[in-house]
Structure 1
Amino acid sequence: MRCPMGKDYEPAVFEKKWQERWQESGIWKADAQTGKPKFFLMFAYPGTSGFLHVGHMRGYTYSDVITRYKRMTGYNVLFPVGTHASGNLCQTFARKVERNDQSTIELLTESGASSEEIEKLKEPAYVAEFLSQVYINEYWKKFGFLADWDRFITTIDTGYKKFIQWQFRKLHARGMLTQKPYYGTACMECGPVAVDASETDISQGGNAEKQEWILLKFKMDDEFLMAATLRPETVFGQTNFWANPDVEYVKARVNGEVWIISPQCAEKLSFQKNSVEIIGKIGGKNLIGRTVMAPVIDREIPVLPSRFTDPDFGTGLVTSVPSDAPYDWIALQDLTNDPETCRKFGLDPEMVRNIEPIPIIESKGWGPNPAAEICRKMGITDQNDPKLEEATKEIYKAGFHTGRMRENCGQFAGKPVATAKDEVKAMMLEMGVADVMYDLSEPVICRCGAKVIMKLIPDQWFIDYGHPEVTEIAKAHVPKMNIQPQTYKDNLPGALDWFKERACVRMGNWLGTPFPFDERWTIEPISDSTLYSAYYIVSGAVNQGILDPEKLNDAFFDHIFLGNGSPDEVSKVTGINAKVIAGLRKDFKYWYPLNINLGGKEHQTVHFPVFLLNHAAILPDNMPKGLFVHWWISGKAGKMSKSKGGAEPIPDAASTYTVDGLRLYYCHISSPHVDVEWDPASVYNSRKSVERAWYFAGELLEMQGGGEKPIDAWLESQFHINVHKASSMMDDIKLREAANIIYFDIVNDLKWYLRRGGNNSELLRKAINAWIRMMAPFTPHMAEELWEMAENADMVSASRYPDTSEFNIDEKALEIEEYLESVLADISGILKMTGMIPKRICLYTAYQWKYEVQRMMAQEGKDMGAVMKHAQLVPELKSKSKEISAFASRLMKDMKRFGDGGIPVNEQNEELEALRAAIDLFGKEFSCEVSVFSGDEPDLYDPSNKRNVASPGKPGIHVE
């Protein structure tokens, strides 16, 4: 491409130049300005777990694009950033450095860390400081973000900790802190960790759920074989017991009883029971053939061999209910059909064959033995079939939601399964024939690499999010909020109802805020990140030394956020200047409530609900106005993750694709509310789109002179429309739609203008100036450079976003160009269909009488009789009743196509004039002679009688 105005496209040069200019200008600073509308956005701050990757930058980029647009439309913008250093993230990173983990050291070295810095990174607190600076300087600033850097926070700052302790004292005063025994998730090395979709503390298993296993006691002499089940109501259908002959089980003394369980189960129980003592071992093969007394039904059942019993799953032993458990049914069939295996374990094959399922649940759509039915239906014939898992889920779902207990289920007969499940469990626990164990539904791995298990915490503190008044305040506010996508807005009230008690503190060597009521505990990472938007109001004063964080106390926060007391009163108890206090209170009232909290889809189930609930509990008069949820940039195998590989580093991607190319990619590749697979070819296309816009705009700015032409009115009108549409999309945060208008529709419009002979340099400069301003939120580095080339004095980032008032709109000019485009398309269609290379094209307008009938139809609507009657009153039309009737019928169909707006009314002279003015356009497009005729001309050249088929707005076309 030709260099515009002598300049090559040099993205790295532009990025460095304009990032320095923005920083020097202070455009990113946010100060309260009375009388000016404000816009306050934050994104969910990242955890300091390591270097970020291109997937993270999607949501962060949206934040900058949105706030740049708001700034350009007259808003005073507050866009602060921070990092989440609480929990075990920094310890995990520090431990990797300490043990000289090669990949971590290489990554640090490649990122420019000195040997002195690497040594210091053995300290968790320095990890938070180091990574925070990387995020600011290597990611956010280098992506051109105009964040208020003065307000930067980490969750281990002294002032932040004071704020969180104030928050917890407020929750306590609200009656929302409780303490009781709790089975929580804990790393076997680090201690308690949070397990949720955000994977703040863990590297695997964010979707794992806490499961309550009922441990059934099967008496065998003076010991108990323990079977774990999630379905206690099925005890009435027990026919046999399964043990894995390849597993060596242990004998564990638990609460005075001897339990036979897998070693893995014993280890899990050691974290949940007061005393678990291993006193012996027994091979699974030694259990086969024994009989055990089944609980509740008080019947002896045989122990049979099965290899589907997993020592990592439950107790490693299973009770068999073949009527309702597909695994049990198939295992029983396998053994029935394998008398050799029976004899190998000393079992009587006839005894095994005589075991019959006991129907216990009557479910909708299933007979007495649903396990056998579904196995036949799905073609499952052995224990290794992966479809067994699906079959199990389907039968359990049907039974739980539609099933009732059968007559052989004692006092529970006739009860819904959903009710009987809890009642049977309660009965067995009371009888002492069962116990409870907690586990996770899938393996969970801590960031340190150790396993995560369930552990009894006897005195755990909780936030009670089930507080009725607080929940109702939050739910009542949801309809008033701007929440995207709409599906999340629809689901959020249900999520708020679901939240009850949530463990909020941990013991151990964690970074974070000490719990104010017992400083042995540290507030966990979810609980210390629910109200921090408020702290951004004061963080700037702390960072600039205006506030001493040690002086921040409840009186200070009560005044700033709740208006309690006066500045003078607070000054006396804090030693903080009263004017500073008054100013911060004024700032809070100006900036709050938050307009948008933006975060990834992993925050839908935890962060966003508790964010609302904490506001409802403490700041009910300042509830947030909006939530924006974005989905992920994923790798080929799913969610991008540094720990799992496949994630491209941000600096490498910025160098390859340019920052503006990446910014446009994030905004234009798809809706923000769907996952996108990282595709280098698509990212490169975005870079090329930016580059093409640069060269095209530069070429147009170079144009000189040129006179006014009719096409000028069309270009003005198109810019009026595009500015309106793009502004509407940006207002609604429809970034993809806005980017499509700005980088593609406008380019096409400008090309059409040139194609139509437009060359008015004054108008083009006006249009390009508007276009550059529209590009500025998305691709600010390129836009700033173009803005400077266009000899504008200020920065485009500080200029006003285009307004429709800058461009006149001419409906007739728009109609004419739309008409000519349709004619071009019709001619192209004919040539494509016929394969002709034209030497001459003749265009014919319709007869004048057709325009008259069209006008009547527009006036009379669908009343054919009225149209014909009207036509009889016009002398020129009296003799054409038959033609008029046929033509009006065709127009009637068009009326259905045009809907309530009615059919457009054309004028023959305007159509003729437009076609004749476009003869040069048609001639250049098709490289041939072009002639234009009025349908009413006498003796015109019309060898194929095309004027007879011409209609108003659709000329006849003859090609030769």
Structure 2
Amino acid sequence: MGIDFKAIEEKWQRRWLEEKIFEPDIKAKPKERKFYITVAFPYLSGHLHVGHARTYTIPDVIARFKRMQGYNVLFPMGWHITGAPIVGIAERIKNRDPKTIHIYRDVYKVPEDVLWKFEDPREIVKYFMKAARETFIRAGFSVDWSREFHTTSLFPPFSKFIEWQFWTLRDKGLVVKGAHRVRWDPVVGTPLGDHDIMEGEDVQILDYVIIKFVLEENGEEIYLPAATLRPETVYGVTNMWLNPKATYVKARVRRNEREETWIVSREAAYKLSFQDREVEVLEEFKGEKLIGKYVRNPVTGDEVIILPAEFVDPDNATGVVMSVPAHAPFDHVALEDLKRETELLLRYEIDPRVVEEISYVSLIELEGYGEFPAVEEVERLGVKSQKDEKKLEEATKTIYKAEYHKGIFKVEPYAGKTVQEAKELIAKELQERGIAEIMYEFAEKPVISRFGNRAVIKIIHDQWFIDYGNPEWKEKAKEALADMTIYPASRRAQFEAVIDWLEEKACARKVGLGTPLPWDPDWVIESLSDSTIYMAYYTISRHMNRLRDEGRLDPEKLDREFFDYLFLEEFSGERERQLEEKTGIPAETIHEMKEEFEYWYPLDWRCSAKDLIPNHLTFFIFNHVAIFRREHWPRGIAVNGFGTLEGTKMSKSKGNVLNFIDAIEENGADVVRLYIMGLAEHDSDFDWRRKEVGKLRRQVERFYELVSEFSGYEAEETELKDIDRWMLHRLNRAIEGTTQALEEFRTRTAVQWAFYSVLNDLRWYMRRTEGRDDKAKRYTLRKLAEVWVRLMAPFTPHISEELWEKLGGEGFVSLARWPEPVPGWWNETIEAEEEFLKSLIEDIKEIIRVARIENPRRAYIYTAPDWKWRVAEVVAEKRDFKASMSELMKDPEMRKHGKEISRMIQRLIKERAFEVKRIDEEKALREARDFIEKELGVEVIINPEEDRGGKAKQAMPLKPAVFVE
């Protein structure tokens, strides 16, 4: 029968909550010993899965570690319910959407009687807030639950805090009104933030230049707007591409005072109607209707033919593509393919000679290429046809990147300019002349809102934005970032890039849950805008919650003055008395709130997953530097990776999700925590494998059994043997390694040290001491147990509490002193001797295996003579043949071994064997002879006078010569 982990977990979770051990008191320790860590609160549209488990377990492990180091630790938690997704779910359940019903009934296991209440978004919030809290408690998270809150106007005190934040930003000119492109749900009629997107959250919005080629039809000028990301190449257009099977429309397009007739794909007409254009469709037809006709290039005046191309995607930009084969690999290969399709050309009444005689136009000078870089790159990669899509994409990427960064434009009036310069100038000129416009398009498709609708890009007028493009604000954000610690450090460059490219961001919606914009309540502040400085609210939230519970809080009285004082001003008894009169909150409580903020701020660590770098985590920096004093700017951000399930990306719709709570039920919280923490470092992704979790559970059970056994031993001081000293030295190593790793959020390395390293060392120690039952061994194992339980406490807190109790530890292990290396336990020599023995045993086993020695009887071991040690030490110091040889030849005794020394130096330098710690090999062998003989099943003879098999001369330091018979 296995260990009842669930009973152990419930016991300690109950005791932690009853004794409120994770609710810090600011009077308990000075500010220098405070540690404030937060993690992005979860969005509650469903249950948390094991991918979320990683995000939330990391800060808990760090919080527990720092608490044991003697810090006053604040680790609070709240719930995010702002935005459109929850409203969208309620709408889909109301409409009995089968996909949504499946997710919530079958994947999230919501009871049927509860599920139909989800037509009201508040019921969704209520259900999943309760479930999330239970999951966090069941996971053993050391959260200060006295500070719990949730977002939106459903929780008025926090809503007033958000109003204060937005008034403050607006006063600084950082919330502005204007026109901007946004992702838009055309069915619901609302802008979409990152958290409002179900599919395609990270898809980039591209700015296409659409150049209006002219088709003469019955004396009328009709425009075919060709979309391009490279407007400078308009000078090299040889033909146009349309998809003959796609549906195109002739439409009347009105923009500002201008009205024109356009031909674009049907999909493009729909999308353009959201981008400041009135689009009236006059006629629909297949693209084949226009194949073979000619259009005029509005820049060069050239007449170019329209050719058929099924590769043209009518759902990408305008569905009209200009062909520049000298500089676009796809265009070149498409033309070459078309030349071979004579029947197709004749079907469209196109003379094949017209295609054959198309002349390429060279526009860009590029080092390493001739006139037509696209042609050369296609030939270099061996592209045979358009079917070689991967090679064509590679060629396109190579050419576009090289030309953009290194190309020189050759066409007047832009000749001699870099392609980067020419591109900007040409795009600007074409728009000024009215022959080009901008169209916005998603880089990839589809982008689906959480309402289940396909998003478009819309130009919004009278929209409220946070102006992240403000240059002064950007500089302050960069200053803050420069002073912050980022884990992993490799992510710093991404933060810098995001700060650079961020522009205005829509901060309010017309639908969804949230806090109304205080000066324009028809708008609701969206989810990525009300979640940037709530870490400051946590510092006062326990007081807010207490006042609220006691019925002594009127949120309407929490005006700007109240929050200004708490977060921005200096302490003032007079201000506190004034605010008491205004708010009804006792002056002493207001003083305590301010004390809490000043004590806990700045925030030491913000933790979240890497997908939030382009939005939330960077907004967090911006908003802090805009609102708070410099001394309150955040100190660090730790970024983690994602999780997959059995090698596959988790997907609710496909049922490929493991809920966090189900993983806990199945394996126990401590096993889940240890497994996730040991899988990946920093922002590396991890893969949940049920089979591997099962293996780990058995190892955790073994940990529990071993420490339980050792808890019965007395730690009496006694004379220790070398192997006991080795075990204690290795414990010091584990303490040092775990501590260093946790200081840098390297949880995988920490688990390797705290769990696997100790477990493996203990196995070796038990092998080495098999048959012994003396005071020294019991002392060593008792000391190991006392250290090991504390090292494991951040990872497996419940089991560790239980074992700490068995060991007779004082209070909770969660509050026990973090172990520090014991100076008297360090012993590098004994460690080197033990590694020497391990290595030797493995070498002899390998000799027996390779030589296929059946029933070996004896092993003769020859250790290196003293002069070889001297050589190794000199080489380790000099790391150079001549210098080493010169030093050694000064000694007459060494000169006797001149040739051997020369060969040995060459070998050591070749093998880069520069690490050497001298040990008494013979002593170590003689003391461990019985163990070696038992391990190998042979008699061991150490340094006999007779040189068996002539092996003795091969002995090297730490690498004895061996002869087995």
Query: Normalising by the residue count of structure 2, what TM-score does the alignment of the two structures yield?
Result: 0.89
Question: For residue 191 of structure 1, what is the amino acid of its counterpart?
Answer: G
2:3 to 4, 9, 27: 9
1:457 to 455, 460, 463: 460
Residue in structure 1 matched with residue 511 of structure 2 by the alignment: 509
Question: For residue 660 of structure 1, what is the amino acid of its counterpart?
Answer: D
C-alpha separation in 1, matches of 2:374 and 2:872: 71
Following superposition, the deviation at residue 691 of structure 1 comes to: 2.2
C-alpha separation in 2, matches of 1:53 and 1:192: 29
Residue in structure 1 matched with residue 199 of structure 2 by the alignment: 204
Q: Does 1:576 align with 2:585?
A: yes
Q: Kindly indicate whether the alpha-carbon contact (under 8 Å) linking 2:250 and 2:261 is maintained by their aligned counterparts in 1.
A: yes
C-alpha separation in 2, matches of 1:856 and 1:310: 71
* Alpha carbons of structure 1 residues 645 and 411: separation in structure 2 relative to 1, 3 Å: farther
C-alpha separation in 2, matches of 1:378 and 1:18: 64
Q: Does 1:838 align with 2:856?
A: yes
Q: Kindly indicate whether the alpha-carbon contact (under 8 Å) linking 2:52 and 2:660 is maintained by their aligned counterparts in 1.
A: no
C-alpha separation in 2, matches of 1:478 and 1:158: 32
2:345 to 336, 342, 346: 342
Deviations 1:50-91 (A, max 9, x none): 222211111211111111111111111111122221111111
Residue in structure 2 matched with residue 329 of structure 1 by the alignment: 332
Residue in structure 2 matched with residue 168 of structure 1 by the alignment: 166
Q: Kindly indicate whether the alpha-carbon contact (under 8 Å) linking 1:542 and 1:549 is maintained by their aligned counterparts in 2.
A: no
Q: Does 1:131 align with 2:137?
A: no
Following superposition, the deviation at residue 431 of structure 1 comes to: 2.3
Residue in structure 1 matched with residue 565 of structure 2 by the alignment: 559
Structure 2, gaps ≥5 residues long: none
Following superposition, the deviation at residue 653 of structure 1 comes to: 2.3
Q: Does 1:674 align with 2:689?
A: no
Q: Kindly indicate whether the alpha-carbon contact (under 8 Å) linking 2:208 and 2:317 is maintained by their aligned counterparts in 1.
A: yes
Deviations 1:843-862 (A, max 9, x none): 56666888899999999996
Q: Give SS of 1:253's match.
A: strand
Residue in structure 2 matched with residue 32 of structure 1 by the alignment: 26
Question: What are the within-5 Å matches in structure 2 for residues 399-418 of structure 1?
Answer: 399-407=403-411, 410-418=412-420
C-alpha separation in 2, matches of 1:839 and 1:752: 24
Following superposition, the deviation at residue 827 of structure 1 comes to: 3.6
Residue in structure 2 matched with residue 313 of structure 1 by the alignment: 316
* Alpha carbons of structure 1 residues 124 and 681: separation in structure 2 relative to 1, 3 Å: same
C-alpha separation in 1, matches of 2:354 and 2:947: 99
Residue in structure 2 matched with residue 875 of structure 1 by the alignment: none
C-alpha separation in 2, matches of 1:448 and 1:328: 39
Q: Kindly indicate whether the alpha-carbon contact (under 8 Å) linking 1:241 and 1:304 is maintained by their aligned counterparts in 2.
A: yes
Residue in structure 2 matched with residue 486 of structure 1 by the alignment: 489
Residue in structure 2 matched with residue 877 of structure 1 by the alignment: none
Moved more, 836-845 or 123-132: 836-845
Deviations 1:609-664 (A, max 9, x none): 22111111111321111111111112467642324542222233223333222211
C-alpha separation in 2, matches of 1:860 and 1:303: 75
* Alpha carbons of structure 1 residues 454 and 857: separation in structure 2 relative to 1, 3 Å: closer
C-alpha separation in 1, matches of 2:870 and 2:239: 91
Q: Give SS of 2:614's match.
A: coil
Question: For residue 663 of structure 2, what is the amino acid of its counterpart?
Answer: A
Question: What are the within-5 Å matches in structure 2 for residues 215-614 of structure 1?
Answer: 215-217=210-212, 218-221=214-217, 222=220, 223-255=222-254, 256-387=259-390, 388-407=392-411, 410-443=412-445, 444-506=447-509, 508-545=510-547, 547-564=553-570, 566-614=575-623
Deviations 1:307-334 (A, max 9, x none): 2222212222223333333333333334
Deviations 1:671-729 (A, max 9, x none): 23212233333333332331222223333345679974413333332222322222222
Q: Does 1:143 align with 2:139?
A: yes
Question: For residue 216 of structure 2, what is the amino acid of its counterpart?
Answer: M
Q: Kindly indicate whether the alpha-carbon contact (under 8 Å) linking 1:193 and 1:202 is maintained by their aligned counterparts in 2.
A: no
Q: Does 1:683 align with 2:693?
A: yes
Question: For residue 754 of structure 1, what is the amino acid of its counterpart?
Answer: M
Question: For residue 246 of structure 1, what is the amino acid of its counterpart?
Answer: K
* Alpha carbons of structure 1 residues 932 and 240: separation in structure 2 relative to 1, 3 Å: closer
Following superposition, the deviation at residue 418 of structure 1 comes to: 1.8
Q: Kindly indicate whether the alpha-carbon contact (under 8 Å) linking 1:495 and 1:609 is maintained by their aligned counterparts in 2.
A: yes
* Alpha carbons of structure 1 residues 275 and 816: separation in structure 2 relative to 1, 3 Å: closer
Deviations 1:94-126 (A, max 9, x none): 123222344544554565645553333211233
Moved more, 816-825 or 723-732: 816-825
Deviations 1:531-585 (A, max 9, x none): 1111111222222335543332211211111125632232233222111111011
Question: What are the within-5 Å matches in structure 2 for residues 725-804 of structure 1?
Answer: 725-757=737-769, 759=773, 760-804=777-821
Moved more, 307-316 or 381-390: 381-390
Residue in structure 2 matched with residue 916 of structure 1 by the alignment: 926
Q: Kindly indicate whether the alpha-carbon contact (under 8 Å) linking 1:289 and 1:304 is maintained by their aligned counterparts in 2.
A: yes
Q: Kindly indicate whether the alpha-carbon contact (under 8 Å) linking 2:22 and 2:142 is maintained by their aligned counterparts in 1.
A: yes
* Alpha carbons of structure 1 residues 123 and 31: separation in structure 2 relative to 1, 3 Å: farther
Following superposition, the deviation at residue 591 of structure 1 comes to: 0.8
Moved more, 107-116 or 375-384: 107-116
Q: Give SS of 1:245's match.
A: coil
Moved more, 448-457 or 285-294: 285-294
* Alpha carbons of structure 1 residues 715 and 309: separation in structure 2 relative to 1, 3 Å: closer
Q: Give SS of 2:524's match.
A: strand
Residue in structure 2 matched with residue 41 of structure 1 by the alignment: 37
Q: Kindly indicate whether the alpha-carbon contact (under 8 Å) linking 2:876 and 2:914 is maintained by their aligned counterparts in 1.
A: no
C-alpha separation in 2, matches of 1:32 and 1:460: 43
C-alpha separation in 1, matches of 2:737 and 2:246: 68
Q: Does 1:719 align with 2:719?
A: no
C-alpha separation in 2, matches of 1:894 and 1:805: 39
Q: Give SS of 1:411's match.
A: coil
Deviations 1:758-801 (A, max 9, x none): 54323321221111111111112222222223333422222112
2:936 to 926, 931, 936: 926
Moved more, 371-380 or 845-854: 845-854
Residue in structure 2 matched with residue 187 of structure 1 by the alignment: 185
Question: For residue 225 of structure 1, what is the amino acid of its counterpart?
Answer: L
Q: Give SS of 1:29's match.
A: coil
Aligned length, in residue pairs: 931
Moved more, 786-795 or 441-450: 786-795
Q: Kindly indicate whether the alpha-carbon contact (under 8 Å) linking 1:185 and 1:454 is maintained by their aligned counterparts in 2.
A: yes
Residue in structure 2 matched with residue 874 of structure 1 by the alignment: none
Moved more, 508-517 or 73-82: 508-517
Q: Does 1:651 align with 2:670?
A: no
C-alpha separation in 1, matches of 2:688 and 2:293: 57
Moved more, 89-98 or 566-575: 566-575
C-alpha separation in 1, matches of 2:408 and 2:315: 32
Question: For residue 340 of structure 2, what is the amino acid of its counterpart?
Answer: N
Q: Give SS of 1:254's match.
A: strand
Following superposition, the deviation at residue 864 of structure 1 comes to: 6.2
C-alpha separation in 2, matches of 1:673 and 1:48: 23
Report sequence identity in percent: 37
Q: Kindly indicate whether the alpha-carbon contact (under 8 Å) linking 1:15 and 1:142 is maintained by their aligned counterparts in 2.
A: yes
Q: Give SS of 1:304's match.
A: strand
Question: For residue 558 of structure 1, what is the amino acid of its counterpart?
Answer: D
Following superposition, the deviation at residue 826 of structure 1 comes to: 4.3
C-alpha separation in 2, matches of 1:949 and 1:229: 72
Structure 1, gaps ≥5 residues long: 872-879
* Alpha carbons of structure 1 residues 902 and 269: separation in structure 2 relative to 1, 3 Å: closer
Q: Kindly indicate whether the alpha-carbon contact (under 8 Å) linking 2:715 and 2:780 is maintained by their aligned counterparts in 1.
A: no
Moved more, 319-328 or 853-862: 853-862
Question: For residue 838 of structure 1, what is the amino acid of its counterpart?
Answer: P
